[in-house]
Amino acid sequence: MMTLYSGTTCPFSQRCRIVLFEKGMDFQIVDVDVFNKPEDIAVINPYGKVPALVERDLILYEANIINEYIDERFPHPQLMPADPVARARARLFLHRFEQDLFSHIPAIEHGSDKEADQARLAIRDGLTQIAPIFAKQKYMLGDDYSMLDVAIAPLLWRLDHYGVKLGKEAVPVMKYAERLFARPAYFEAMTPSEKAMRK
Ligand SMILES: N[C@@H](CCC(=O)N[C@@H](CS)C(=O)NCC(=O)O)C(=O)O
């Protein structure tokens, strides 16, 4: 059985929990308080971070790497596109989410007021840029829910919590977010602390 070491408030861990619940397979989740990590996390992951996945002698870390492994092991529903070109493009998008959006989260959580405000504006601008996509289609890649939707959902859930305010141009993003939050697996995958982040 797979065991996921998951931060109870960690957006990267939430991505992995979402995939596990979407697949409806057998797994175990070990809740980790990221502010008071048990020592075994440093043994599992040399970077000392969650999420981390353990399955017999396989140890993985980095949410996107864990998620691609789960997707290949349990292909239904398939979350990465099957076609190599579409798959490569999806990986590029995943990379850009990290660079353009998720890289700003540490400044909001631990930076000075000025750094946090700059990070909020960068996230706002990044999300506003992609808003036109959702005026035309249901999910990030079209009609089908995919790994890109999984990857961005934890950030969209935390916008109020992080103090990111979106303007009118980004309304399609919030409508898209509601579609993601309405999925049963999304709800099941949330921890009580995450549920409390958004009213
Ligand atoms: N790039 C990593 C980021 C993981 C990450 O930043 N995890 C945070 C919690 S959200 C963590 O474990 N922080 C503890 C630490 O850095 O000591 C991923 O995608 O898995």
Q: State mean pLDDT over 66-87.
A: 97
- Cα–chain center distance at 84: 23
Task: Tell me which architecture the domain covering 84-183 has in CATH.
Answer: Up-down Bundle (1.20)
Ligand 1 in reach of 48 Cβ (< 6 A): yes
Report if pTM > 0.85.
yes
Name 159's Cβ contacts closer than 8 Å, sequence gap at least 6.
123, 165, 166
Residue 62 CB less than 6 A away from ligand 1:
yes
- Segment 45-72 shows an average pLDDT of 97
Please report the pLDDT score of residue 76 as a whole number: 94
Cβ neighbours for 46, distance < 8 A, ≥ 6 positions apart:
none
Tens of pLDDT, residues 124-163: 999 999 999 998 899 999 999 999 999 999 999 999 999 9
Q: List pLDDT tens digits, range 79-121.
A: 999 999 999 999 999 999 999 999 999 999 999 999 999 999 9
pLDDT 10s digits, 151-198: 999 999 999 999 999 999 999 999 999 999 999 999 999 999 999 999
Q: Which atom of ligand 1 is nearest to the CA of 62?
A: 20
Res 101: pLDDT: 98
pLDDT computed for residue 199 by the predictor = 81
For range 16-35, the mean pLDDT? 95
Question: Can you list the positions of beta strands (E) in the chain?
Answer: 2-7, 27-32, 52-55, 58-61
Mean pLDDT of 25-52: 94
Ranges in the chain annotated CATH 1.20.1050.10: 84-183
- Top-tier CATH class for 2-77+187-195: alpha beta
CATH 3.40.30.10, the chain: domain bounds: 2-77+187-195
**Ligand 1 pocket member 126 (CB < 6 A):** no
The residue from 2, 10, 19, 177 that is catalytic is 10
